[in-house]
């Protein structure tokens, strides 16, 4: 069996595998797609000490770093079941069963899409999902935020300090965000909130030039000219394949303690699939290191 078996090959999993392997213990990493979300990312400007890089380049460096160590890398393999027996078993989609004395779950998350014409076409050409990452790219420009929940309103407040104007589009009749956030939002001069707005299309030529929405009360379609659209309708953790023994939040995020431990002894978790409040590359890598050290601590005590 593996001493540490990592499931997920994004920044969190790569970091966990390197930290584990550096302890000289038997380490494996299984990933559906090595690199994870950064494979879909263009410019990265907040990976501290690297002023600018691009997702696929960072993913290649992660892989190169992992391969410096004696890590068994199993790419293009999807885990479908976890079971704790004497050892922890991970069953793959192809039927193989891997065993670990400890397991680190780092299966990440995915942004929920609005699924309207233009969204996929203009991804990274005006359509964005992460205000911390891409907000500064829209300095002085006009943007929309789709979604009036906490993350949408936090994004709108954040963006209002950087961009020229923010239009918030909320599908329901009321914003769902906490009232303190709503008060802060309504105090800002450069924000417009449109409720009962169903996004119909993100328009553009080579990049975004506007957004069309239907007023659900009057059933009329309106168009707003702008340069960017932030989709903020939820981040879905890739944890639906796990059973009930592992505690998760209402959102499906794996609950971890300060050592990265979950409610199953020997099973640790890191990165965007956990209840970490902020989802970023540098944070995922830090929590991957924490989970690996937590797993090592567990191994020497059991
Ligand atoms: P992920 O990167 O999601 O990796 C998850 C890994 O698990 C992948 O290898 C995946 O294939 C694998 N996996 C999933 N399910 C299974 C399964 N069942 N079996 C096996 N493997 C599985 N952050 C920044 O800090 N700066 C930025 O500029 C930035 N820009 C971003 C731009 C975009 C478009 C997106 C989508 C995200 C951006 N982020 C940015 C966020 C950042 O990419 C994530 O916080 C980070 O990738 C999370 O790392 P992770 O390892 O936890 O998860």
Best residue for ligand 1 mutational test, from 15, 107, 235, 277 (most atoms within 8 Å of Cβ): 107
The mean pLDDT values, 10 residues at a time, for the chain of 302 residues are 98 98 98 95 92 96 98 98 98 98 98 96 95 94 97 96 98 96 98 98 98 98 98 95 96 97 98 96 98 98 96
By most ligand atoms within 8 Å of CB, the mutation choice from 34, 94, 130 for ligand 1 is 130
Q: Say if ligand 1 is within 6 A of residue 15 CB.
A: no
**pLDDT at residue 43, rounded to an integer:** 87
Task: Return left, alpha or beta for 124; rule: phi > 0 is left, psi -120 to 50 is alpha, else beta.
Answer: left
- What pLDDT sits at residue 40? 85
pLDDT (0 to 100) of residue 175? 97
* CA–CA separation, 50 and 25 (whole Å): 30
The alpha carbon of 5 and the centre of ligand 1 are apart by a number of angstroms equal to 18
Closest to 62 (Cα-Cα) out of 284, 273, 256, 296: 284
SS3 128: strand
Among 7, 9, 10, 291, residue to substitute to test ligand 1 (most atoms within 8 Å of Cβ)? 10
* Interval between CA 36 and ligand 1 midpoint (Å): 4
Concatenate the DSSP letters of all residues of 31-76 into one string: ESSTTGGGGG--EE--STT-S-EEHHHHHHHHHHHHHTS-EEEEES
> What ipTM was assigned to the predicted interfaces of this complex?
0.99
What pLDDT, on the 0 to 100 scale, is given for residue 225? 98
pLDDT at 228: 98
Residues in the chain: 302
Q: What pLDDT is attached to residue 41?
A: 84
Q: Is the CB of 241 under 6 A from ligand 1?
A: yes
Q: Is 128 in the pocket of ligand 1 (CB under 6 A)?
A: no
């Amino acid at each position: 069996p593996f001493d540490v078996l990592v499931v997920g090959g994004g920044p969190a999993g790569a970091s966990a595998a390197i930290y584990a392997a550096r302890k000289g213990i038997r380490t494996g990493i299984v990933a559906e797609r090595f690199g994870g979300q950064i494979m879909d990312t263009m410019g990265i400007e907040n990976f501290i000490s690297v002023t600018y890089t691009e997702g696929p380049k960072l993913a290649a460096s992660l892989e190169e770093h992992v391969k410096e160590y004696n890590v068994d890398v199993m790419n293009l393999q999807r885990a479908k079941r976890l079971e704790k027996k004497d050892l922890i078993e991970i069953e793959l989609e192809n039927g193989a069963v891997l065993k670990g004395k400890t397991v680190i779950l780092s299966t990440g998350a995915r942004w929920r899409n609005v699924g309207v014409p233009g969204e996929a076409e203009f991804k990274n050409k005006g359509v964005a999902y992460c205000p911390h990452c891409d907000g500064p790219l829209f300095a002085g420009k006009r943007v929309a935020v789709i979604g009036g929940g906490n993350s949408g309103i936090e994004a709108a407040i954040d963006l209002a300090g950087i961009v020229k104007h923010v239009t918030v589009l909320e599908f329901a009749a009321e914003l769902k965000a906490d009232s303190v956030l709503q008060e802060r939002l309504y105090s800002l001069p450069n924000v417009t909130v449109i409720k009962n707005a169903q996004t119909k299309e993100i328009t553009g030529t080579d990049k975004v030039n506007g957004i069309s929405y239907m007023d659900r009360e009057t059933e009329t379609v309106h168009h707003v000219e702008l340069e960017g659209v932030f989709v903020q309708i939820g981040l879905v953790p890739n944890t639906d394949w796990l059973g009930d023994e592992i505690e998760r939040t209402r959102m499906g995020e794996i609950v971890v303690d300060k050592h990265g431990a979950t409610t199953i002894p020997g099973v640790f978790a890191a990165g965007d699939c956990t209840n970490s409040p902020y989802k970023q590359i540098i944070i995922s890598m830090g929590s991957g290191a924490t989970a690996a050290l937590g797993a090592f601590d567990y191994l020497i005590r059991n």
